[in-house]
Amino acid sequence: MKVATYNVNGVNGRLPVLLRWLDEAEPDIVCLQELKSPDERFPIEAIREAGYDAIWHGQKSWNGVAILSRVGEIHETRRGLPGDPDDSHSRYIEAAVRGIIVGGLYLPNGNPRPGPKFDYKLRWFDRLIAHAGELIGTGLPIILAGDFNVMPTERDVYKPERWLDDALFAPEVRAAYFRLLDQGWTDALRALHPDETIYTFWDYFRNAYARNAGLRIDHLLLSPALAGRLRSAGVDAHVRGWEKTSDHAPVWIELSDRPSRRRKAKEPA
DNA sequence: ATGCCTAATGCAATTAGA
């Protein structure tokens, strides 16, 4: 099974690119971020025609997350993170699909730092860590996928020294990311490619894609019950070179089939 | 420190992105 995450940066403006990529990559489950669309303008008909069912949590102009599936019913388990009833941003949606819990997230950018937006990012991260702790405690197979707006290490940014004061690379944000991982999550891309330069975002500015001046900020995290099923992982970086494309590229993993339940040995009579 | 580019809103210029 192939599971992907893609920050589309406007699901309506990006619809031709999204459909082209779905057709080419054939992912089974997809988490989308930055829909930038109110719920009633989500392009569900075009997505159904492409063979996918979907659930989504939109919002006018900003944010917005969705989960697509072509392999089975999407049983929504949550929209919005617990811990702050006043949080109006659409940044989290969660569902059970084919026996896997999929949490699709769009973590706040947090710039400028310091400031209220950075404080919001840290608070949102704390709420994510709390919820992720509850999830991983169930022992279920779980994927947390999305735009985390964090480069975890120096390897994940083309010029680390220029990003030290940025909300995407600040020490307290990276520390939060590793507090999350320390619960037992596997960073799928890094686990399979420990030494590679891997980017998932290239700024529209300064010809960043052509210079490969990128960042790795879109991640797929696997709970222990799933980590053993990880077979391959990658970034569809070429999509970033398409016309009218997002500033992010799709990121994906392949999971082996659910391990068949071990047959109980016959008890001696 | 700011612009560089892009989307959404809504029709100019602002906000936000990262």
Q: Exposed, middle or buried by CB within 10 Å (0-12, 13-18, 19+), for A159?
A: exposed
- Predicted TM-score of the model (pTM): 0.95
pLDDT digits (tens), chain A, 269 positions: 999 999 999 999 999 999 999 999 999 999 999 999 999 999 999 999 999 999 999 999 999 999 999 999 999 999 999 999 999 999 999 999 999 999 999 999 999 999 999 999 999 999 999 999 999 999 999 999 999 999 999 999 999 999 999 999 999 999 999 999 999 999 999 999 999 999 999 999 989 999 999 999 999 999 999 999 999 999 999 999 999 999 999 999 999 987 655 555 555 55
Domain A2-255: CATH superfamily, name plus number:
Endonuclease/exonuclease/phosphatase (3.60.10.10)
Q: Give me the catalytic one of A147, A156, A187, A218.
A: A147
Domains of chain A, by residue range, sit at 2-255
Q: Measured CA to C1', what is the nucleotide nearest A214?
A: B18
Q: Measured CA to C1', what is the nucleotide nearest A33?
A: B17
The per-residue pLDDT for A258 is 72
**Known catalytic membership, residue A106:** yes
Cβ neighbours of A132 (radius 10 Å):
23
CA nearest to nucleotide B4 C1': residue? A205
**Known catalytic membership, residue A165:** no
Distance CA A188, CA A196 (A): 13
Q: Which H or E element spans position A202? A: strand A201-202
Find out whether the peptide bond into A152 is cis, omega within 30 degrees of 0: no
Q: Which three-class secondary structure state does DSSP give residue A268?
A: coil
Q: Measured CA to C1', what is the nucleotide nearest A117?
A: B16
The per-residue pLDDT for A265 is 56
* Chain B, protein-covered positions (CB within 7 A): 3-9, 16-18
